[in-house]
Amino acid sequence: MSDARPAQAAAAAPCDAARPFATVQRTRRNVVKWIVTAPPFLFLLVFFLLPSLIMVLASFRYPGEYGGLAPLGAATHPGTDHGLTVETYQFFFSSFIYTEIFIKSFIVALATTLICLVMAYPLAILIARSPRRHRDLMVLLVILPFASNFLIRVYAWMIILGPQSAFSHFVNSVLGVFGAGPVTMLFSPFAVLCGMVYVHLPFMVLPLYTNLEKHDPVLLDAAQDLGAGSWQRFWRVTFPLSLPGIFSGAALVFIPVLGIFVIPDILGGTRDILIGNLIENQFLTTRDWPFGSTLSIMLTLCVLATAGFAAWLARIGARRA
Protein backbone atom coordinates (compact mmCIF):
# COMPACT_ATOMS: atom_id res chain seq x y z
CA MET A 1 0.00 0.00 0.00
CA SER A 2 2.52 2.56 1.08
CA ASP A 3 4.72 1.61 -1.84
CA ALA A 4 2.02 2.15 -4.42
CA ARG A 5 1.17 5.70 -3.51
CA PRO A 6 4.65 7.22 -3.85
CA ALA A 7 4.91 5.56 -7.25
CA GLN A 8 1.80 7.42 -8.38
CA ALA A 9 3.19 10.60 -6.93
CA ALA A 10 6.41 10.10 -8.86
CA ALA A 11 4.47 9.60 -12.08
CA ALA A 12 2.44 12.74 -11.48
CA ALA A 13 5.47 14.98 -11.14
CA PRO A 14 8.25 13.50 -13.25
CA CYS A 15 10.20 16.74 -13.58
CA ASP A 16 10.65 17.35 -9.88
CA ALA A 17 12.75 14.54 -8.46
CA ALA A 18 13.14 15.90 -4.97
CA ARG A 19 9.47 16.28 -4.10
CA PRO A 20 8.34 12.63 -4.55
CA PHE A 21 11.27 11.54 -2.45
CA ALA A 22 10.15 13.91 0.25
CA THR A 23 6.58 12.62 -0.12
CA VAL A 24 7.75 9.04 0.22
CA GLN A 25 9.62 10.03 3.31
CA ARG A 26 6.66 11.87 4.75
CA THR A 27 4.13 9.12 4.04
CA ARG A 28 6.46 6.56 5.41
CA ARG A 29 7.09 8.70 8.43
CA ASN A 30 3.38 8.98 9.03
CA VAL A 31 2.84 5.25 8.72
CA VAL A 32 5.72 4.55 11.08
CA LYS A 33 4.50 7.18 13.47
CA TRP A 34 1.10 5.56 13.45
CA ILE A 35 2.52 2.08 13.99
CA VAL A 36 4.69 3.21 16.88
CA THR A 37 2.22 5.47 18.62
CA ALA A 38 -1.08 3.68 18.18
CA PRO A 39 -0.62 0.49 20.25
CA PRO A 40 0.41 2.13 23.53
CA PHE A 41 -2.01 4.97 22.90
CA LEU A 42 -4.98 2.70 22.30
CA PHE A 43 -4.12 0.44 25.21
CA LEU A 44 -3.94 3.31 27.63
CA LEU A 45 -7.00 4.95 26.11
CA VAL A 46 -9.06 1.86 26.84
CA PHE A 47 -7.54 0.79 30.14
CA PHE A 48 -6.62 4.07 31.72
CA LEU A 49 -8.45 7.07 30.29
CA LEU A 50 -11.80 5.36 29.76
CA PRO A 51 -11.93 3.82 33.27
CA SER A 52 -11.10 7.22 34.72
CA LEU A 53 -14.00 8.78 32.84
CA ILE A 54 -16.27 5.95 33.91
CA MET A 55 -15.34 6.73 37.49
CA VAL A 56 -16.37 10.35 37.03
CA LEU A 57 -19.71 9.13 35.69
CA ALA A 58 -20.10 6.61 38.51
CA SER A 59 -19.79 9.38 41.09
CA PHE A 60 -23.06 10.83 39.74
CA ARG A 61 -24.98 7.55 39.92
CA TYR A 62 -27.09 6.02 42.68
CA PRO A 63 -25.72 3.06 44.64
CA GLY A 64 -27.22 -0.32 43.81
CA GLU A 65 -29.35 -1.94 46.49
CA TYR A 66 -26.78 -4.68 47.02
CA GLY A 67 -23.66 -2.91 45.83
CA GLY A 68 -22.39 -1.71 42.50
CA LEU A 69 -24.41 0.98 40.75
CA ALA A 70 -28.16 1.28 40.46
CA PRO A 71 -29.31 0.75 36.89
CA LEU A 72 -29.74 3.96 34.91
CA GLY A 73 -33.31 5.22 34.86
CA ALA A 74 -34.26 3.09 37.85
CA ALA A 75 -37.74 3.85 39.09
CA THR A 76 -36.60 3.43 42.68
CA HIS A 77 -35.46 7.03 42.83
CA PRO A 78 -38.51 9.24 42.48
CA GLY A 79 -37.95 12.69 41.04
CA THR A 80 -35.31 11.60 38.59
CA ASP A 81 -35.85 9.84 35.32
CA HIS A 82 -32.21 9.64 34.29
CA GLY A 83 -30.64 8.01 37.35
CA LEU A 84 -28.00 10.70 37.75
CA THR A 85 -27.56 12.74 40.90
CA VAL A 86 -25.26 15.14 42.72
CA GLU A 87 -26.50 13.63 45.98
CA THR A 88 -23.19 11.87 46.59
CA TYR A 89 -21.26 15.14 46.43
CA GLN A 90 -23.79 16.73 48.77
CA PHE A 91 -23.28 13.78 51.08
CA PHE A 92 -19.53 14.39 51.02
CA PHE A 93 -20.01 17.94 52.23
CA SER A 94 -22.92 17.14 54.54
CA SER A 95 -20.48 16.21 57.28
CA PHE A 96 -17.16 17.81 58.02
CA ILE A 97 -15.77 14.38 58.79
CA TYR A 98 -14.71 13.66 55.21
CA THR A 99 -12.96 16.98 54.75
CA GLU A 100 -11.27 16.28 58.06
CA ILE A 101 -9.89 13.00 56.78
CA PHE A 102 -8.53 14.75 53.70
CA ILE A 103 -6.82 17.33 55.88
CA LYS A 104 -5.43 14.59 58.08
CA SER A 105 -4.07 12.73 55.07
CA PHE A 106 -2.38 15.94 53.91
CA ILE A 107 -0.77 16.35 57.32
CA VAL A 108 0.48 12.77 57.36
CA ALA A 109 1.82 13.14 53.82
CA LEU A 110 3.55 16.39 54.72
CA ALA A 111 5.10 14.93 57.87
CA THR A 112 6.31 11.88 55.94
CA THR A 113 7.81 14.10 53.26
CA LEU A 114 9.65 16.27 55.77
CA ILE A 115 11.03 13.33 57.75
CA CYS A 116 12.14 11.67 54.53
CA LEU A 117 13.83 14.90 53.47
CA VAL A 118 15.73 15.29 56.73
CA MET A 119 16.86 11.66 56.63
CA ALA A 120 17.68 11.59 52.93
CA TYR A 121 19.65 14.81 52.70
CA PRO A 122 22.86 13.82 54.52
CA LEU A 123 22.91 10.48 52.75
CA ALA A 124 22.42 12.10 49.33
CA ILE A 125 25.21 14.61 50.01
CA LEU A 126 27.53 11.87 51.16
CA ILE A 127 26.87 9.77 48.07
CA ALA A 128 27.26 12.74 45.75
CA ARG A 129 30.61 13.67 47.31
CA SER A 130 31.98 10.14 47.44
CA PRO A 131 34.52 8.94 44.90
CA ARG A 132 32.79 8.07 41.67
CA ARG A 133 33.57 4.36 41.88
CA HIS A 134 31.72 4.04 45.19
CA ARG A 135 28.62 5.94 44.18
CA ASP A 136 26.89 3.18 42.21
CA LEU A 137 27.22 0.77 45.08
CA MET A 138 25.93 3.31 47.59
CA VAL A 139 22.93 4.08 45.39
CA LEU A 140 22.33 0.38 44.91
CA LEU A 141 22.29 -0.04 48.68
CA VAL A 142 19.51 2.52 48.87
CA ILE A 143 17.45 0.78 46.19
CA LEU A 144 18.04 -2.74 47.42
CA PRO A 145 15.41 -2.80 50.22
CA PHE A 146 12.97 -2.05 47.41
CA ALA A 147 13.66 -5.51 46.17
CA SER A 148 11.79 -6.98 49.09
CA ASN A 149 8.05 -6.92 48.90
CA PHE A 150 6.23 -3.77 49.98
CA LEU A 151 4.08 -5.67 52.47
CA ILE A 152 7.11 -7.31 54.00
CA ARG A 153 8.69 -3.92 54.59
CA VAL A 154 5.53 -2.86 56.41
CA TYR A 155 5.29 -6.15 58.28
CA ALA A 156 8.85 -5.70 59.55
CA TRP A 157 7.59 -2.76 61.59
CA MET A 158 4.90 -4.94 63.12
CA ILE A 159 7.66 -7.08 64.58
CA ILE A 160 9.86 -4.15 65.63
CA LEU A 161 7.12 -2.13 67.31
CA GLY A 162 5.21 -5.05 68.79
CA PRO A 163 4.83 -4.88 72.60
CA GLN A 164 7.03 -7.97 73.11
CA SER A 165 9.88 -6.78 70.90
CA ALA A 166 13.35 -5.87 72.13
CA PHE A 167 12.89 -2.34 70.83
CA SER A 168 9.67 -1.90 72.81
CA HIS A 169 11.31 -3.20 75.97
CA PHE A 170 14.23 -0.83 75.43
CA VAL A 171 12.05 2.25 74.84
CA ASN A 172 9.85 1.44 77.81
CA SER A 173 12.77 0.86 80.15
CA VAL A 174 14.26 4.20 79.07
CA LEU A 175 10.89 5.85 79.64
CA GLY A 176 10.68 4.04 82.98
CA VAL A 177 13.88 5.74 84.10
CA PHE A 178 12.20 9.10 83.53
CA GLY A 179 9.10 7.88 85.29
CA ALA A 180 6.96 7.91 82.16
CA GLY A 181 4.49 5.09 81.78
CA PRO A 182 4.96 2.28 79.29
CA VAL A 183 3.81 3.12 75.78
CA THR A 184 2.46 0.83 73.10
CA MET A 185 3.93 1.73 69.76
CA LEU A 186 2.25 -0.68 67.40
CA PHE A 187 -1.20 0.37 66.16
CA SER A 188 -0.51 4.07 66.61
CA PRO A 189 0.08 7.14 64.43
CA PHE A 190 3.76 6.72 65.25
CA ALA A 191 3.77 3.24 63.74
CA VAL A 192 2.00 4.54 60.63
CA LEU A 193 4.60 7.27 60.24
CA CYS A 194 7.45 4.76 60.65
CA GLY A 195 5.99 2.59 57.92
CA MET A 196 5.36 5.53 55.60
CA VAL A 197 8.90 6.89 55.96
CA TYR A 198 10.49 3.49 55.65
CA VAL A 199 8.66 2.63 52.45
CA HIS A 200 9.15 6.02 50.77
CA LEU A 201 12.66 7.03 51.84
CA PRO A 202 14.44 5.84 48.66
CA PHE A 203 12.09 7.99 46.56
CA MET A 204 13.56 11.02 48.32
CA VAL A 205 17.20 9.93 48.26
CA LEU A 206 17.40 9.23 44.53
CA PRO A 207 16.24 12.56 43.04
CA LEU A 208 18.20 14.45 45.68
CA TYR A 209 21.34 12.54 44.84
CA THR A 210 20.81 13.01 41.09
CA ASN A 211 20.55 16.74 41.71
CA LEU A 212 23.44 17.06 44.16
CA GLU A 213 25.72 15.04 41.93
CA LYS A 214 25.49 17.76 39.28
CA HIS A 215 26.64 20.55 41.60
CA ASP A 216 29.98 22.05 40.68
CA PRO A 217 32.36 21.71 43.67
CA VAL A 218 34.04 24.91 42.45
CA LEU A 219 31.07 26.87 43.78
CA LEU A 220 31.65 25.59 47.32
CA ASP A 221 35.37 26.31 47.07
CA ALA A 222 34.59 29.82 45.92
CA ALA A 223 32.22 30.31 48.85
CA GLN A 224 34.90 29.05 51.22
CA ASP A 225 37.43 31.42 49.72
CA LEU A 226 34.97 34.23 50.33
CA GLY A 227 34.97 33.24 54.00
CA ALA A 228 31.68 31.32 54.26
CA GLY A 229 31.49 28.78 57.10
CA SER A 230 30.24 25.26 56.45
CA TRP A 231 26.65 26.03 57.53
CA GLN A 232 26.65 29.16 55.42
CA ARG A 233 27.96 27.24 52.44
CA PHE A 234 25.17 24.75 52.91
CA TRP A 235 22.32 27.24 53.31
CA ARG A 236 23.56 29.74 50.72
CA VAL A 237 24.90 27.42 48.02
CA THR A 238 24.03 23.72 48.27
CA PHE A 239 20.49 24.01 49.57
CA PRO A 240 19.12 26.55 47.07
CA LEU A 241 20.74 24.68 44.21
CA SER A 242 19.15 21.43 45.35
CA LEU A 243 15.60 22.81 45.44
CA PRO A 244 14.54 21.17 42.16
CA GLY A 245 15.73 17.84 43.54
CA ILE A 246 13.86 18.44 46.78
CA PHE A 247 10.66 19.26 44.96
CA SER A 248 10.75 16.24 42.70
CA GLY A 249 11.59 14.03 45.67
CA ALA A 250 8.81 15.62 47.69
CA ALA A 251 6.30 15.00 44.91
CA LEU A 252 7.43 11.35 44.67
CA VAL A 253 6.82 10.87 48.38
CA PHE A 254 3.85 13.14 49.01
CA ILE A 255 1.53 11.95 46.24
CA PRO A 256 1.67 8.18 46.89
CA VAL A 257 1.35 8.74 50.63
CA LEU A 258 -1.88 10.68 50.06
CA GLY A 259 -3.58 7.60 48.66
CA ILE A 260 -2.05 4.81 50.70
CA PHE A 261 -4.33 2.47 52.65
CA VAL A 262 -2.25 -0.59 53.46
CA ILE A 263 0.06 1.04 56.00
CA PRO A 264 -2.68 2.53 58.22
CA ASP A 265 -4.55 -0.72 57.74
CA ILE A 266 -1.70 -2.86 59.08
CA LEU A 267 0.11 -0.55 61.49
CA GLY A 268 -2.59 1.96 62.44
CA GLY A 269 -4.71 1.99 65.54
CA THR A 270 -8.22 3.12 66.26
CA ARG A 271 -7.95 6.61 64.77
CA ASP A 272 -5.59 6.19 61.88
CA ILE A 273 -7.77 6.17 58.82
CA LEU A 274 -6.75 8.12 55.75
CA ILE A 275 -8.34 8.84 52.37
CA GLY A 276 -7.13 5.52 51.00
CA ASN A 277 -8.86 3.56 53.75
CA LEU A 278 -12.04 5.51 53.19
CA ILE A 279 -12.05 4.68 49.47
CA GLU A 280 -11.21 1.04 50.05
CA ASN A 281 -13.99 0.88 52.61
CA GLN A 282 -16.63 2.14 50.18
CA PHE A 283 -15.76 -0.55 47.67
CA LEU A 284 -14.89 -3.47 49.91
CA THR A 285 -17.14 -3.05 52.94
CA THR A 286 -19.96 -0.58 52.56
CA ARG A 287 -20.79 -1.41 48.92
CA ASP A 288 -21.22 2.28 48.12
CA TRP A 289 -19.53 2.60 44.74
CA PRO A 290 -20.77 6.10 43.87
CA PHE A 291 -19.38 7.47 47.10
CA GLY A 292 -16.12 5.59 46.57
CA SER A 293 -15.89 7.16 43.12
CA THR A 294 -16.63 10.61 44.52
CA LEU A 295 -13.85 10.20 47.07
CA SER A 296 -11.49 8.98 44.35
CA ILE A 297 -12.25 12.03 42.26
CA MET A 298 -11.63 14.32 45.21
CA LEU A 299 -8.32 12.55 45.76
CA THR A 300 -7.44 12.94 42.07
CA LEU A 301 -8.12 16.67 42.32
CA CYS A 302 -5.87 16.90 45.39
CA VAL A 303 -3.12 15.02 43.57
CA LEU A 304 -3.38 17.25 40.52
CA ALA A 305 -3.28 20.36 42.69
CA THR A 306 -0.22 19.04 44.56
CA ALA A 307 1.58 18.09 41.35
CA GLY A 308 0.81 21.51 39.86
CA PHE A 309 2.04 23.23 42.99
CA ALA A 310 5.26 21.16 43.03
CA ALA A 311 5.89 21.90 39.35
CA TRP A 312 5.33 25.60 39.98
CA LEU A 313 7.72 25.60 42.94
CA ALA A 314 10.31 23.66 40.96
CA ARG A 315 10.08 26.18 38.12
CA ILE A 316 10.58 29.09 40.51
CA GLY A 317 13.43 27.24 42.20
CA ALA A 318 15.08 26.56 38.86
CA ARG A 319 14.74 30.20 37.83
CA ARG A 320 16.32 31.39 41.09
CA ALA A 321 19.17 28.97 40.68
Partner 1 sequence: MRRGLSLWIAAVLVYLFLYVPLLIVVVYSFNDSRLNAEWVGFTLHWYHVLFNDGDMLQAWANSLIIACTASIVATVLGTMAGIAMHRYRPKLLPFMVLTPVAMPSILLGVSLLLFFIQVLNLTLGMLSIIIAHITFCIGFVAIVVHARVAGMDDSLFEAARDLGATPWRTFRLVTFPLILPGVIAGLLMSFTMSIDDFVITFFTAGVGVSTLPLQIYSMIKIAVTPEVNAVSTLLMLITLTLIVVASRFAPDALRGKA
Partner 2 sequence: MRRLGTLLCAVALCLLAAAPAVAGTTLYLYNWNNYISQSTIRQFEQFCSCNVHQDYYGDNEEMLAKLAAGATGYDIIVPTQFAVSALIKQGKLRPLDKSLLPNFRNLDSRYLDHWFDPGNQYSVPYAFTITLIGYNVQKMRQLGIPTDTWAAIFEPKYLKKVKGRVTVLDSQRELMAAALKYLGYSVNDTNEMHWRQAEDVILRAKPYWAAFNAQSYIREMTIGNIWLAHGYSNDFFQAAQDARRAKRPFTISYTVPKEGAVIALDSMVLDKTGRHPKLAHQFINFMLAGKHSSELTNLIGSGNPNQAARPYIDPQIAANPAIFPTPEVLTRLEYMKDLDHRQRRTLSRIWTEIKVR
Using CB under 8 A as the binding rule, the residues of this chain from 214 to 253 that contact partner 2 are none
Interacting span for partner 1 (CB under 8 A) from 54-62, 79-87, 220-228, 235-243: 54-62
3-state secondary structure of 76: coil
Judged by CB under 8 A, how many residues of this single chain contact partner 1? Answer: 83
The DSSP secondary-structure symbol of 300 reads: H
The answer to whether residue 157 forms part of the interface with partner 1 (CB under 8 A) is yes
By C-beta, is 66 or 231 nearer to partner 2?
66
User: Which of partner 1, partner 2, none binds 4 (CB below 5-8 Å, type-dependent)?
Assistant: none
Q: Name which of residues 54 to 73 contact partner 2 (CB under 8 A).
A: 63-68
Q: Where are the alpha helices (H) located in 63-131, listed in sequence order?
A: 87-94, 96-129
The answer to whether residue 230 forms part of the interface with partner 1 (CB under 8 A) is yes
Cα dihedral 182, 187, 192, 194 in deg (nearest 10): 40
Q: Which of 70, 84, 171, 266 binds partner 1 (CB under 8 A)?
A: 266
CA distances from 25 to 5, 15, 21, 183 (A): 12, 18, 6, 73
Separation between Cα atoms, residue 310 and residue 104, nearest integer Å: 20
The answer to whether residue 119 forms part of the interface with partner 1 (CB under 8 A) is yes
The answer to whether residue 20 forms part of the interface with partner 1 (CB under 8 A) is no
Separation between Cα atoms, residue 281 and residue 289, nearest integer Å: 10
User: Which of partner 1, partner 2, none binds 254 (CB below 5-8 Å, type-dependent)?
Assistant: none
Among 302, 247, 234, residue whose Cα is nearest residue 274: 302
Q: What is the 3-state secondary structure (H, E, C) of 22-56?
A: HHHHHHHHHHHHHHHHHHHHHHHHHHHHHHHHHHH
Q: At closest approach, how far in Å is the CB of 179 from partner 1?
A: 26
Burial 223-241, CB ≥16 within 10 A → b, else e: beeeebeeeebbeebbeeb
The answer to whether residue 223 forms part of the interface with partner 1 (CB under 8 A) is no
The answer to whether residue 278 forms part of the interface with partner 2 (CB under 8 A) is yes
Q: Which of 4, 35, 97, 152 binds partner 2 (CB under 8 A)?
A: 97
User: Which of partner 1, partner 2, none binds 93 (CB below 5-8 Å, type-dependent)?
Assistant: none
Residues making contact with partner 2 (CB under 8 A): 63-68, 91, 95, 97-98, 100-101, 104, 162-164, 184, 187, 269-271, 273, 278, 281-288, 291
